[in-house]
Structure 1
């Protein structure tokens, strides 16, 4: 595996010995590592859009770890965050987890716990990336539908029959059948169930909302 394909871990901690120790451990276990002495230095860096996670100290001069997390959330940055702290308490961990942290570990952290947390964070990041890629592709397909095809799409996923759609839109059933076929082709699905799933994934149809 080339070095660029190895998972990335960003270590943000004001303690140089912690940065060094975590960096050596993670690199020895097959990760790429970049270290930062503060949240400010972390935000000054430029990053590739790649599978990664952050090991983030809670108590740091300047921006605290929780403030770094807050800034990431405001920027809609989906990178998984694992907190590390020697002075954590329940309220702090609850706040971090509610804000979307993947894990909250106490220093000194055991190697097995650290690697498990990092691996879980990377797996979640990979799955989230796949999901975002799928949604982007679905949005592209959805955007190719004509205005009339969009009307047919929304009526079909709500369980309307071709003859019902034809009556509602003032077209012949034959025309609706052709438009429905075009919708299925453009959305790259072969069944109504698949089309409903795509509509749900796009957020244009709620399975919990009853049809007309």
Structure 2
């Protein structure tokens, strides 16, 4: 079986809450309806829009796992939509479809992060594979974004001195070295370190080092 077929089978076996959510944007009514039916039949949860503006105005725009859009849309075209998604929903993935083979447009879209650029009539296997790949990318990015936001909130709960200790111990310094760096006692550093562990919900120093990496905190 193809990658796409396996991906769709796995999606069908998952709970509804885990089904891949796809936004279809196509200004041609017949094409939009046919594409939506095709994707629903394949096991995706689909919402269809006639324009890029409709998607951006939707209350659940940030919840889609993949956007499938015609690159030649009225008013805001596909490339402009991609630029707006990159700015407002950076974890969103997009697959472009087009009735006009334009390699330069496709290359531009791919350089900007598009998952794929497919010509109409779209090969079903290629489309399903691209959507499954895009959904994986989007979900991973969303999870990473959620983790970052959570860690930033925890880090803000630290006192200024605790942040200094956090930075120094995750850079590889021992407690006594941190104490010398900060002009305090090793006992005080241990107390701050213990507080940092609790506030950051870390089980080990390795956890703190990983968090520092996610937060991009490095000792100067």
Please report the TM-score for the alignment, with normalisation by the length of structure 2: 0.84
Whether the 8 Å CA contact 1:149–1:183 is kept in 2: the answer is: yes
Distance 2:121 2:51 in 1: 19
CA-CA distance at 1:193 after TM superposition: 3.0
Spell out the pairing of 1:33-182 with structure 2 (5 A cutoff): 33-47=46-60, 49-182=62-195
Bigger proportion of residues as helix? 2
CA-CA distance at 1:126 after TM superposition: 1.5
CA-CA distance at 1:36 after TM superposition: 1.7
Are 1:25 and 2:38 counterparts? yes
Match of 1:208 in 2: none
Q: 1:141 to 1:40 in 2, by over 3 A?
A: closer
Secondary structure, in 3 states, of the residue corresponding to 2:153?
A: helix
Whether the 8 Å CA contact 2:19–2:44 is kept in 1: the answer is: yes
Which whole-Å deviations, capped at 9, do the CAs of 1:144-169 have from their partners, x for residues lacking one?
Answer: 21121111111112222211221222
Whether the 8 Å CA contact 2:97–2:117 is kept in 1: the answer is: yes
Please report the TM-score for the alignment, with normalisation by the length of structure 1: 0.87
CA-CA distance at 1:176 after TM superposition: 1.1
Distance 2:190 2:87 in 1: 46
Distance 2:63 2:53 in 1: 21
How many residue pairs get aligned? The number is 207
Secondary structure, in 3 states, of the residue corresponding to 2:63?
A: coil
Gaps of 5+ in 2: 1-13
Match of 2:205 in 1: 192
Whether the 8 Å CA contact 1:51–1:126 is kept in 2: the answer is: no
CA RMSD in angstroms comes to: 2.1
Are 1:6 and 2:19 counterparts? yes
Distance 1:23 1:56 in 2: 12
Report 1 or 2 for greater relative contact order, CA contacts < 8 Å, sequence distance ≥ 6.
2
Distance 2:203 2:58 in 1: 46
Q: 1:140 to 1:71 in 2, by over 3 A?
A: closer
CA-CA distance at 1:140 after TM superposition: 2.0
CA-CA distance at 1:116 after TM superposition: 0.8
Distance 2:132 2:80 in 1: 24
CA-CA distance at 1:16 after TM superposition: 1.7
CA-CA distance at 1:95 after TM superposition: 0.7
Gaps of 5+ in 1: 206-210
Which whole-Å deviations, capped at 9, do the CAs of 1:99-149 have from their partners, x for residues lacking one?
Answer: 121111111111111111111111112111221221122112212211211
CA-CA distance at 1:82 after TM superposition: 0.5
